[in-house]
Structure formats: C-alpha cells, structure tokens
C-alpha cells in the first residue's frame, strides 16, 4: 500500500538523483583601446558578446572610432584626454577607422 509518506519520500529521492544544472553568469569585461601616435592600440581586438570597448585619446589631434559600415557605432570626435565606450552585444567582426585620419584603422571581433 502506498501511503502519502512513501509517495513523498520517493518523490524527494527521485529529485535528489537528478543532475543539478548550475549556470554562472560571465562577468562583462571592459577593454581599452589607446589612441596615440596616430594609431589604435591594440589595432585588432577579440572580445566576448556583452563586453565593452573604451577608446581613450592620448594624442594631441582629435580622433574618432567609427564602424566602416556606419551602422554600428561612432564615438564622435575625441579631444586629448577624452574617451568613449561602446558595448558589443552581438557576435561579428567590425572594421573601424578614424574619421579625420582614415589611415588609422582597427578591428573588433566579437565571439
């Protein structure tokens, strides 16, 4: 005869035997790209989705970082000491350049 007590005991025993799925949220990371000597350092950066990239201008001229396609991001012009940040939520590869100095180029790869 199955009693309520036996029924509950079997249910708890069954649950205890199931594997436990533990997920850990990945901490978002902020990466810095330095603008100095008319270049981006690092020039090519690989990050994870959800990470942020901060461009810091340490050069005298004003610089920017904008997506070559013009659709994803544009920091606007940054004076010496200024910075701007962009969070990349989707995977992809983003080529960017400085608007006033088109020979300054970089790539952000988001995995």
The superfamily in CATH containing domain 27-110 is Cupredoxins -  blue copper proteins (2.60.40.420)
Within 13 Å of residue 15, how many CA atoms lie on the same side as its CB?
6
How far is residue 64's CA from residue 66's CA, in Å, rounded to a whole number?
A: 6
pLDDT by residue (tens digit) across 36-50? Answer: 999 999 999 999 999
Domain boundaries, the chain: 27-110
pLDDT by residue (tens digit) across 37-96? Answer: 999 999 999 999 999 999 999 999 999 999 988 788 999 999 999 999 999 999 999 999
What is the pTM (predicted TM-score) of this model? Answer: 0.76
CB-based contacts of 55, cutoff 8 Å, min separation 6: 32, 33, 34, 35, 40, 63, 65, 75, 78, 83, 84, 85
Query: Which pair of tokens denotes residue 65?
Result: 């970082």
């Amino acid at each position: 005869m199955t009693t309520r007590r036996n029924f509950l005991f079997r249910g708890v025993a069954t649950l205890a035997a199931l594997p436990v799925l533990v997920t850990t949220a990945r901490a978002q990371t902020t990466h810095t790209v330095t603008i100095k000597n008319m270049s981006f350092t690092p020039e090519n950066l690989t990050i994870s989705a959800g990470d942020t990239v901060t461009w810091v201008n340490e050069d005298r001229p004003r610089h920017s970082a904008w997506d070559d396609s013009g659709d994803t991001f544009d920091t606007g012009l940054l004076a010496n000491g200024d910075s701007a940040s962009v969070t990349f939520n989707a995977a992809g590869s983003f080529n960017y350049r400085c608007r006033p100095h088109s020979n300054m180029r970089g790539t952000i790869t988001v995995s």
